[in-house]
Structure 1
Amino acid sequence: VCVCSIFRFALFTLWHWGSLLFLVHLLAYLASIMGNMVIIIITWADHRLQTPMYVLLSAFSYCECCFITTVIPKLLSIFLSGRQTIPFTACLTQAFFSFFLGAIIFFLMAVMSLDRYLAICKPLHYASIMNLRVSFLLIFLCYTLSFILITCLMLKVSQLLFCGPNIISHFFCDITSLIHLSCSDTRSVEMYFFFVTSFVILLSLIVTIIAYSNIVVTILRLPSAKERQKAFSTCSSHLIVLSLMYGSCVFIYLKPKPVNRLDSNKEAALVNMVVTPMLNPVIYTLRNKQVHQALRDTLSRVRLQNSSLPLDIQV
């Protein structure tokens, strides 16, 4: 039951910066969408990249595009129009999809870590363990598990009573902010929310730590310094993304309750929602020679097709 059918965001007070904030976030949003779309397109346009590693990376990029689309367009409309309100049903929908897609991203990061572990630590068995069928199965499991966890959480949140203040101290419908506004008993919801966030973040973090610990040990045992450098450069991009994602989310959701100030979460959430998705395509492709070559080949094919188009002859 919700007496307050309209929520209001508590955003920035300096509205004379609205146009600048709109432009900055719009450029970041477009850069993130374009960068991730490039990864998806070249993965499926070049048969050489249709391997488990790049299939998982394209699934990760797709989720990143959807993830930021649940939040940034609404934020842009607020900057442009100044209207900071959102209906209750739209707020719950935004909260569901943002956390659902966020959980998928964490699970995919753990799966990508396992893929790198098998490729580096078990190279002789990699082809027999990881293939496209297994990759799609793992992606399906990530979606299914995330859907079950977040659907149960949102059902609990939707049953709360909202009869008091309707000001959300955030720039999107964060579940912690919604629970904070409820005037009913929220202890069971808070416990389940902490369980879900801890399970998603810590499970993927533990899997990632174990995988990369074995990877580092294996790399250090390589006899050639050139081989060690090549192996570290392959994994360094993934480690940068992991540090940004886990660092911001652990700060937001796994802090002790007495120091869990909602206002302090905005900056970390902004890094998680805007900065990281924009940097991911650059980080993943900066040192990847296969992606560079596939992109060059795709652009060459496009130019060749354009140059072979028949020209109109004027008499």
Structure 2
Amino acid sequence: MRPYLPIRFAVAPMIDWTDRHCRFLHRRLAPRALLYTEMVVADAILHGDRERLLGFDPAEYPLALQIGGSEPHKLAEAARVGEGFGYDEINLNVGCPSDRVQSGAFGACLMRDPALVGRCLAAMREAVSVPVTVKCRIGVDEQDPEPALDALANAAVDAGVSAIWVHARKAWLQGLSPKENREIPPLDYDRVHRLKARLPDMFVGLNGGLATVEAAAEQLVHFDGVMMGRGAYQNPSQLAHVGARIHGDAREEVDLAALIDDMTAYAERHMAGGGRLSNVTRHMIGLFTGLPGARRWRQLLSERAVRPDAGPELIREAFAEVRFDSPAEAAA
């Protein structure tokens, strides 16, 4: 098995958000971040359109595939397919609380059955040479997070995983929507800190409530890695500070004008293959949050990019509406 990637910062897998176009944007902003796919169900990988589900641009590396499922043999085969596509890591979802995963008895439901999680991870681990990891909650419903998280982590360690990423909230499978499950259950970073203290030799990464790169960086005192979700998506320009704040490398500055050129060229390639401009631009709407002209930027991308005649040049047109107080702002 390959050693785990030297990761300190990751962007979380987010259904309907972290598709290949989103990841291309995030990679351009944060060259060393680990990026994740949306969760892809094992059955879809085995029986669906694999290129549509798993295809990506080589510029997205390093890149992890997150899989959902609860049948070890299917997860093993899906992991094998993912490795064949070139992913750097295969991750098992043990945290998603949506109705879809509940009906299939996977995702956060698996917190109730750590022994099954262990069998799933062991099967995946045996099937591939790339690192196998798990992303979980601290518990579900009425579970006590102390024994629940320890049981899950123990099963993962015994299965030979390379990393445990923990969303530091419970998931409530009844009574809360997936959106509410990301906001209402209280954060408990101390519980995840205790897990890391108990497993000093295991990579333990923290997810949940890290709205800014600064807040994420502060947690690296306690954890091996940090993972941002909605904050990275809704205000992606802050990813430009990952190099300086997380890696201590101020040279990783992002020239926003060059970024716009890259995204315009990327959109042109995507549209030449039959795609729509809005497939790309929907992930860019939050780029200039807080800057003069950001409202006009959002308006142009939201309203005009969806039109059938919209072309890649709209990205540059919208960028021309954004104002920077200083040249440094445009390159950071």
Give TM class, smaller chain. under 0.3
TM-score normalised to structure 2 length: 0.24
TM-score normalised to structure 1 length: 0.25
Structure (1 or 2) with the larger CA radius of gyration: 1
The structure showing larger relative contact order (alpha-carbon pairs under 8 Å, at least 6 residues apart) is 1
